[in-house]
Amino acid sequence: MASQTGDAPQRRRSTTLTVGTVGAVALALVLCGCSSGPDYQGVCADKRTGTRVDDSFCEHGNKSGGSGGYGWWYARSGSRVPAVGQTLPKAGGGEGFVSPKSGSVVRGGFSAHGGTVGG
| Predicted local distance difference test score (pLDDT) of residue 94 | 74
How sure is the predictor about 37, in pLDDT bands with cuts at 50, 70 and 90? confident
Burial class (CB in 10 A: 0-12, 13-18, 19+), 61: exposed
Max CA distance (Å), the chain: 90
Provide the mean pLDDT of the chain: 77
This prediction's pTM: 0.63
Residue-wise pLDDT tens digits, 41-97 = 999 999 999 999 999 999 866 555 444 599 999 999 999 999 999 999 887 777 899
Percent of the chain residues topping a pLDDT of 90: 50
Region for residue 22 given its phi and psi (left: phi exceeds 0; alpha: psi -120 to 50; beta: otherwise): alpha
CB 95, CB 72: distance < 8 Å: no
Residue 87 is predicted with a pLDDT of 95
